[in-house]
Amino acid sequence: MSESKYTSAVRQIPAPIERVYPALSNLQNLERVREHIPADRVRELEITPDSVRMKVDGLGQKISILIEDRIENDTIKFGAEGLPMPMNFWIQLKPGEGDSCFVRLTLKADIPMMFKMMLDKKIQKGIDDAAEMLTQFPYSQWN
């Protein structure tokens, strides 16, 4: 196994950190975007303020994403259970000027060497896409 680290580009969110942090640090807010989660690939979705549990096609078992730590208006750290490899990730927020803030995502995973080359670009694209997606939420309507 080889620990790999993937970091998104820094993205600007057009909302103040005081609105963004509470929205992202409560996973129950995923209920607001549930209709965008592909029901044909994600089943048995359970959402609480601190966790998301689901069955994902191709994995066979239920996986869990859990908030492990919160640093107010700064960082939200996540862990995962039920994945074929250990991983964790975090969302970092920094204040911007006026009514904006910045976000960056980082993921660390122990990926077997034989899969690393196949997955590197896909994981990097996924983390960049996820950071971009976080800039699109209507944070001013969520609090």
pLDDT, mean of residues 4-14: 96
pLDDT, mean of residues 127-137: 94
Whole-number Å distance between alpha carbons of 29 and 7: 24
Q: What is the pLDDT of residue 132?
A: 95
Whole-number average pLDDT of the chain: 91
Give tens-digit pLDDT for 71-121.
Answer: 999 999 999 998 888 899 999 999 999 899 999 999 999 988 888 888 899
Residue type, 62: K
CA 89 to each of CA 43, 60, 82, 100, 143: distance values in angstroms, whole numbers, following the listed order: 22, 22, 15, 23, 24
Give tens-digit pLDDT for 47-76.
Answer: 999 999 998 877 778 999 999 999 999 999
| Cβ atoms of residues 61 and 81 within 8 Å | no
Whole-number Å distance between alpha carbons of 124 and 115: 14
Residue 32 C-alpha from the chain's centroid: 15
Q: In the predicted model, is pLDDT for residue 1 greater than 80? A: no
| Cβ atoms of residues 30 and 48 within 8 Å | no
Q: In the predicted model, is pLDDT for residue 135 greater than 70? A: yes
Q: Which domains does the chain have, with CATH numbers?
A: 2-25+68-142 (3.30.530.20)
**Residue 46: which pLDDT band, with cuts at 50, 70 and 90?**
very high
| Cβ atoms of residues 48 and 28 within 8 Å | yes
Provide CB contacts within 8 A for 109, sequence distance 6+: 3, 4, 6, 85, 86, 87, 123
Q: What is the pLDDT of residue 25?
A: 96
